[in-house]
Amino acid sequence: MNESIDPRALFTLSYGVYILSTGYEGKYNGQIINALMQLTGDPICVAACLHKNNYTTELVEKSGRFSVSVLEDSVPLQFIGIFGFRCGREFDKFKECSYEVREEGLPLVVDYSLAGIEAKVLSVQDVFTHKLFVGRVEKAVLLKEGYPLTYANYHRVKKGKSPANAPSAIFNKVK
Ligand SMILES: Cc1cc2nc3c(=O)[nH]c(=O)nc-3n(C[C@H](O)[C@H](O)[C@H](O)COP(=O)(O)O)c2cc1C
């Protein structure tokens, strides 16, 4: 890495931890994502940054839609592992969780989830190793009250790691 970039400075940025899911021709898949944020308020748009090698990325490009499950603070590390450390090309993640199928075959994981958001892809931007999907939010539901898991607590409290495809994988080296 460029010596003038101190990864500890980037580690001060705040994020949540989410499952981003999609469905295409009856195949469901999803992955853990922290690189997700709301961009605008009227209309409401969000952005999600997905690694080019991920199966979820391939399916979101094909389906043009994605859902976001906002994970709660008490979500077990093992559950995060299903969506964040395994690839849906070799393993059916949706056999390991509870989910609802929303309009147009879009799955939404409901386990350990405080809220569900559904978005339609507006644009896709190439960002070196990743693709940035900007989506317009069409639905948002509150599933239960609680505290959302922050990315900082994922690392500090749960002692979780970031896999290679996470934009923040570099942080593993500074801990
Ligand atoms: C805490 C955490 C945060 C992550 N953040 C991202 C992210 O923002 N973008 C991304 O592309 N991958 C991220 N990942 C990695 C993906 O979840 C992982 O590569 C997943 O296995 C991809 O699955 P798939 O091939 O089935 O799509 C993250 C993983 C974890 C555990």
Dump pLDDT digits (tens) for 46-86. Answer: 999 999 999 999 999 999 999 999 999 999 999 999 999 99
Mean pLDDT computed over 143-161: 92
CA of 31 to the centre of ligand 1 (A): 5
Residues having CB closer than 6 A to ligand 1 are 17, 29, 31-35, 49-51, 54-56, 80, 84-88, 154, 160, 162-163, 165-167
* Residue 10 phi, psi (nearest 5): -70, -25
Give residue 174's pLDDT band: very low, low, confident or very high (50, 70, 90): low
Question: Which atom from ligand 1 is nearest to the alpha carbon of 161?
Answer: 31
Q: DSSP state, 72?
A: B
Domains of the chain: 15-168 (2.30.110.10)
Q: Count CB neighbours of 92 within 10 A.
A: 10
